[in-house]
């Protein structure tokens, strides 16, 4: 089954943040709000890159054609 990550008008940034939060929240050494924010900030650049690549692969506008009836 194919899953569209960018359904419901998700943005690359919101997907990247959710990815960073999911990864950071699983790390046992992240025990305070401050350490969580720091870890999210560390992970965001790589998560942004991954989200942008995924968005490019899902972007339906790349495949759209306008058909004009005459």
The pLDDT tens digits of the residues spanning 16-67 come to 999 999 999 999 999 999 999 999 999 999 999 999 999 888 876 655 556 6
12, 52 Cβ separation under 8 angstroms: yes
Residue 60: per-residue pLDDT:
60
Residue 50: per-residue pLDDT:
95
Residue 70 lies in a domain: no
Residue 10 lies in a domain: no
Tally of domains within the chain: 1
Residue 14: per-residue pLDDT:
94
Mean pLDDT, range 10-18, rounded to an integer: 93
| Domain housing 44 | 32-57
Q: What is the pTM (predicted TM-score) of this model?
A: 0.75
Residue 50 lies in a domain: yes
């Amino acid at each position: 089954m194919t899953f569209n990550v960018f359904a419901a008008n998700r943005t690359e940034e919101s997907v990247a943040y959710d990815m960073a939060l999911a990864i950071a929240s699983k790390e046992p050494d992240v025990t305070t709000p401050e350490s969580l924010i720091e870890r999210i900030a560390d992970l965001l650049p790589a998560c942004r890159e991954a989200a942008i690549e995924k968005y490019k692969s899902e972007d339906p506008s790349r495949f759209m054609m306008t058909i004009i009836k005459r």
